[in-house]
Structures are given as C-alpha cells and as structure tokens.
Amino acid sequence: MSIVIKYVVEHKGVEKLVTTDKKEADKYDKMLDVADNLAGYIDAKGLKLEADALEDLSIMLAKNKDAISKLLRGANAQDTLAEDTAAVVEIEPRQAQG
C-alpha cells in the first residue's frame, strides 16, 4: 500500500487542477489569482466582454505574462511568439447578442 498526496486547486468552486507536485499547484493557484486581478481590471476599465470571454482572456494573459511583459516593453510580436512556450487557451467565437 502506498500513500499519495494530491494537491487540488479549486477556483470559484470548480476543481481546476489535481497534481502530486505542490510547487506546480502553488504556481497554478497564483496564475489563477493573477487572472482574477486582470479580469477585475479589464472590467473596471469598461471593456464589456461576456463572462466566459473575460475569463478566457484573463487566463491567457496570466499564463503568458512573461511574453506579455516583453510586448509591453516594445518587443516584436512575431519574435515573441516564436520563442513562446506557454500553453495556449483556445477561445471559441461567440455570436453577438442584440
């Protein structure tokens, strides 16, 4: 018999990650905190997005914070994308309501 310690990262009551690596769980949890902060900032600046789109955008920005930082300092987008190794969040197109 073996004992396995699992770390579970929950976000807004939803299980987002289960891992045996505490460092990975802490890193993912911090990324979700950054995404929440970004979503609040984007919303407060008046950019009107559906909740799902806002969450997808804020998570993508948080996951790619190093590349975004380079871009904000004036780096070329194509060069940054070429060296980028972060995961891509797929955002599905949504039809406008109105």
When pLDDT is cut at 50, 70 and 90, the band that residue 98 belongs to is very low
Which residues in 37-55 are b (16+ Cβ under 10 Å) and which e? ebbeebeeeeeeeeeeebb
| Cα–Cα dist 94/51, whole Å | 12
Q: In the prediction, which pLDDT does 50 show?
A: 93
pLDDT in tens, 30-57: 999 999 999 999 999 998 899 999 999 9
Q: For the chain, what are the domain ranges?
A: 24-92
CA-based R_g, the chain, Å: 16
